[in-house]
């Protein structure tokens, strides 16, 4: 029996990744969220998924057994699990008849896992949560959701949010993106639990750096205003169908060049109903708040 694909739906929630997509390029956001265009898996992203799975599973063992050799030993099994859940990942190593590329790739994952032990001591950690899905709805009706790598809770009740990055720590001028992601999570925890996380911690396995930030209420209120403005712009683009590409150096890594106007392509027919962009009303016939032009850059406060 052939399954009937579900019709596209307008966006209904926001995650850190999708918020970053829109800020990077509104058209990219559309391709991923509304059109749901397929993308080829990359070796780097898949290695990150593998390493995250290993670090999560390591905490299943008693504290004394959380050693680097045990973590390395988890890698083959977690890779098999990934392949079972996503068979298309096998295409990453198509033509690798001798297995040399796969062996090298798995070795790189081992080195990242080994480096983690020089940055944190898992025998002294008892995470309250691992790979925690969180979701909350703001007073505006905007739903925020995401997955937190690790949540630590001290005996005093103080909360630390930890995120693993398998790349290198960015230069200071490019640190806003990771900080935005972490304050996003802190905002969700605050709205869910009424607790401001004591610390936000980014563990960069690619470079061996650990970056921390201690947020205050004003930080979370600021990121909330930023997200509301961002959602306002996304809503307008959704209603009008006006999604503008925003060319950057990152375009060279985009899977959607064939359907991007910046590369001479034509986007798929917009699958949602639209209203005139200059009607001056929101989707329910009321005058809405001042919005950015659909698909253009949104002037937002920093995190």
Q: Is residue 270 part of a domain?
A: no
- Among 215, 233, 248, the domain boundary falls at 215
Rounded Cα gap, residues 151 and 160, in angstroms: 6
Residue 83 located in a structural domain: yes
The reply to whether 100 falls in a domain is yes
Total domain count, the chain: 3
In a domain? residue 193:
yes
Answer yes or no: is 281 within a domain: no
Q: Is 60 exposed, middle or buried (0-12, 13-18, 19+ CB in 10 A)?
A: exposed
Whether residue 83 sits in one domain with residue 17: no
Domain boundary among 107, 124, 141: 124
d(CA 163, CA 160): 10
- Residue 57 domain flag: yes
CATH of the domain at 140: 3.90.320.10
- The answer to whether residue 78 sits within a structural domain is yes
What pTM was estimated for this model as a whole? 0.87
Indicate if 139 and 199 belong to the same structural domain.
yes
Per-residue pLDDT of the chain (303 residues; tens, 9 = 90+): 455 567 788 999 999 999 999 999 999 999 999 999 999 999 999 999 999 999 999 999 999 999 999 999 999 999 999 999 999 999 999 988 888 999 999 999 999 999 999 999 999 999 999 999 999 999 999 999 999 999 999 999 999 999 999 999 998 877 788 899 999 999 999 999 999 999 999 999 999 999 999 999 999 999 999 999 999 999 999 999 999 999 999 999 999 999 999 999 999 999 999 976 554 444 443 333 333 444 444 434 444
On whether both 107 and 63 belong to a single domain, the answer is yes
196 part of a folded domain = yes
Asked whether residue 25 falls in the same domain as residue 49, the answer is no
108: containing domain:
43-124
| Closest of 157, 205, 160 to residue 185, by C-alpha | 160
């Amino acid at each position: 029996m052939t399954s009937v694909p579900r019709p596209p739906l307008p966006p209904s929630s926001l995650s850190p990744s999708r918020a970053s997509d829109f800020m990077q390029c509104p058209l990219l956001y559309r391709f991923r969220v509304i059109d749901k265009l397929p993308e080829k898996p990359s070796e780097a992203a898949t290695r990150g998924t593998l390493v995250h799975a290993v670090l999560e599973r390591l905490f299943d063992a008693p504290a004394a057994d959380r050693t680097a050799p045990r973590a390395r030993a988890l890698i083959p099994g977690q890779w098999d699990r990934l392949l079972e859940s996503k068979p298309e990942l096998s295409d990453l190593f198509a033509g690798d008849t001798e297995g040399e590329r796969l062996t090298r790739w798995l070795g790189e994952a081992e080195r990242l896992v080994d480096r983690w032990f020089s940055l944190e001591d898992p025998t002294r950690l008892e995470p309250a949560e691992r790979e925690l899905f969180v979701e909350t709805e703001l007073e505006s009706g905007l739903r925020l959701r995401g997955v937190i790598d690790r949540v630590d809770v001290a005996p005093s009740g103080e909360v630390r949010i930890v995120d693993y990055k398998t790349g290198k720590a960015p230069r200071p001028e490019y640190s806003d993106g990771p900080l935005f992601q972490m304050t996003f999570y802190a905002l969700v925890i605050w709205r869910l639990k009424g607790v401001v996380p004591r610390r936000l911690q980014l563990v960069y396995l690619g470079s061996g750096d650990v970056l921390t930030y201690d947020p205050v209420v004003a930080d979370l209120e600021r990121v909330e205003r930023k997200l509301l403005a961002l959602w306002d712009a996304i809503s307008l683009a959704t209603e009008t169908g006006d999604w503008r590409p925003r060319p950057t150096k990152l375009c060279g890594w985009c899977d959607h060049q064939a359907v991007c106007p910046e590369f001479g392509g034509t986007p798929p027919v917009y699958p949602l109903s639209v209203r005139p962009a200059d009607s001056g009303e929101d989707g329910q016939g009321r005058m809405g708040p001042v919005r950015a032009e659909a698909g253009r850059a949104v002037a937002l406060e920093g995190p």
